[in-house]
Chains A and B, each alone.
Chain A
Amino acid sequence: MPQQRFDQAKPFLTLALVLAAWLVVPTAVKRFLRAGFFEMQAPVEATASYVRDLQDFWSLKTRSNNELIEAGRDLVHLNAAYEIRLQQDAGLRDEIERLGDLLKLPAPDGYRAEPARIVRRDFSGWWQQIVIRKGCNYGITEGAPVIYVGGVVGRVREVHAYTSVVDLISSPGVRIAACIEGDMRPISYQGGVNPTLAPARGTVEYVPVDIFVTPAAPRRLVTSGLGGVFPANLTIGYITGVEPSTDGLFKTGDVQLEPALSALTEVTVLVPQGPAAGK
């Protein structure tokens, strides 16, 4: 009977022993194992993403010449508009540089834009992350901001040899210093609940009490530039409503994130350069 009891308890004894042993394994070994297991899967997932790109290519090849001509014409219009904006931008940059020299201001942080295709989207209730197809091989750094045409995507959490993992702004626990467009006072944004079959949502805290927002007149939430990670004035989402917090000193509110955030295929990593790179 005691032998039978020992046999029954053996799996749980083994579990306890493994747990105890795992707790004392050095962090360096765990980091090495983590990287090893990740890199083992990375080539398979990257190959799958290349296959998806190939599928997209062949599906685009089926488009008629008329459609391509229309798309080309639209692009010409867009390029012309962007060309004018670039010229204005160059003029403004020169002005900023001249004023900076006059006031002896330190040079602002610079970023190198690194576009990257998405290997895998992983949007669960526990976490929201994407894997992109660029890593150490393109000089991506941990903590680098990631953006897309609609605004902020998130922040690089892990950098591997050929891929990087990005925490999305919709991920629970992700916090960003933000402000409401046209109002410089900083507020705190946090990734929130991501309901099924609906766009992701976030929450804002420490909203000044004189700010009023209704679903009919949402306010754009942008990055504040504080904290040194995200450049200022990038769209995070739209505040759809605020209500007084329990202490009555501030307000809290809901943020509607862009639906496109859930269907991204390409993002841009802003790799810090100059003084920001050392932070």
Chain B
Amino acid sequence: MNRRVLMLLLASLLLAVLLGQLNHYLGAWQLHVWCGGLFVTLAALRLDFRTGATTAFLAGLLLDAGSPVVFGTHALLFLAAHAVIFNARARAPRDETLVGVIIALLANLGLFLALSFLRIGAASAPGDAWMRNFADLALSQIVLALVAPWFFAIQIRTLQLGGVALRQNSRSLF
């Protein structure tokens, strides 16, 4: 496996575990935080297509493994989000952290709604289920906005520790 992918996958694993711990405590209040947008944003904005897409797909499989969804659901959704961000990245100052945070928020919003549409069929009262989902979405967006700069820094630092120069990498397209 590509060293860049491995480094980013390690960072994704760290984020997944930390979010899992946060959700463990929030579960007592029936609250849930989901930050899927964070797993794809930096790789889609700053890395070449193959590395970013592979990282997004593997991070999705990581989340799929612990969720009662068809295996590959998160992975394909993340890949789709990666494709959209990658296509649009030339039009944004993508090295800016604030831009990254905004794109992560938008990606998270899209992914959350997509997953909600996929899961809403199982609910006995879809109207009430959407109310719960919107409450979780609002909390998730707040948490994402708070942790995104830290997670981007972790990802960049992890890549540097792995001997990857992000500046060179982000110039190449495919």
Listed in ascending order, the chain A residues whose CB lies under 8 Å from chain B are 7-8, 10-12, 14-15, 18-19, 22, 30-31, 33-38, 40-41, 44-45, 48, 120-127, 129, 131, 157, 165, 167, 171-173, 190-200, 203, 262-263
Q: Flag the segment in B18-26, B99-107, B149-157, B159-167 that touches A.
A: B18-26
Q: Tell me the complex Cα distance, A201–B101, Å.
A: 36
Q: Tell me the complex Cα distance, A195–B134, Å.
A: 11
Partner of B119, one of A14, A122, A126: A126
Is the pair A195, B30 in contact by a Cβ cutoff of 8 Å? Answer: yes
Partner of A125, one of B13, B16, B84, B133: B133
Which chain B residues (13-65) contact chain A, with CB distance < 8 Å?
A: 13, 16-17, 20-21, 23-24, 26-32, 34, 49, 53, 57, 61-62, 64-65
The verdict on A196 contacting B72 (CB below 8 Å), with A122-B23, A127-B67, A262-B30 known, is no
Is the pair B76, A44 in contact by a Cβ cutoff of 8 Å? Answer: no
- Which residues of A sit under 8 angstroms from B72, Cβ to Cβ? 22, 30
- Smallest Cβ-Cβ distance to B127: which chain A residue: A193
Is the pair B27, A121 in contact by a Cβ cutoff of 8 Å? Answer: yes
- Decide yes or no whether B128 CB sits under 8 A from chain A: yes
Is the pair A33, B34 in contact by a Cβ cutoff of 8 Å? Answer: no
Q: Tell me the complex Cα distance, A122–B16, Å.
A: 12
- Which residues of B sit under 8 angstroms from A124, Cβ to Cβ? 23, 32, 34, 136
Q: Tell me the complex Cα distance, A278–B166, Å.
A: 56
Is the pair B79, A18 in contact by a Cβ cutoff of 8 Å? Answer: yes
- Decide yes or no whether B173 CB sits under 8 A from chain A: yes
Q: Could you tell me how many residues of chain B have their Cβ less than 8 Å away from some Cβ of chain A? A: 52
- Smallest Cβ-Cβ distance to A260: which chain B residue: B28
- Which residues of A sit under 8 angstroms from B123, Cβ to Cβ? 125, 172-173, 192-193
- Decide yes or no whether B124 CB sits under 8 A from chain A: yes
Is the pair B64, A18 in contact by a Cβ cutoff of 8 Å? Answer: no
- Which residues of B sit under 8 angstroms from A199, Cβ to Cβ? 30
- Decide yes or no whether B135 CB sits under 8 A from chain A: yes
**Distance between B14 CB and nearest chain A CB, rounded to angstroms:** 9
Is the pair B28, A262 in contact by a Cβ cutoff of 8 Å? Answer: yes
Is the pair B65, A38 in contact by a Cβ cutoff of 8 Å? Answer: yes
Which chain B residues (71-100) contact chain A, with CB distance < 8 Å?
A: 71-72, 75-76, 79-80, 82-84, 86-87
Q: Tell me the complex Cα distance, A131–B65, Å.
A: 12
- Which residues of B sit under 8 angstroms from A129, Cβ to Cβ? 68
Q: Tell me the complex Cα distance, A135–B118, Å.
A: 29
Q: Tell me the complex Cα distance, A89–B73, Å.
A: 49
Partner of B132, one of A122, A190, A191, A195: A195
Is the pair B128, A193 in contact by a Cβ cutoff of 8 Å? Answer: yes
Q: Give 19 A-B contacts (CB < 8 Å), ordered by A residue.
A: A10-B174, A18-B53, A18-B57, A30-B72, A33-B71, A35-B65, A40-B65, A41-B16, A45-B20, A123-B31, A123-B32, A125-B123, A125-B133, A127-B68, A157-B68, A165-B68, A167-B68, A194-B30, A197-B30
- Which residues of B sit under 8 angstroms from A123, Cβ to Cβ? 23, 26-27, 30-32
Is the pair A18, B76 in contact by a Cβ cutoff of 8 Å? Answer: yes
**Distance between B109 CB and nearest chain A CB, rounded to angstroms:** 15
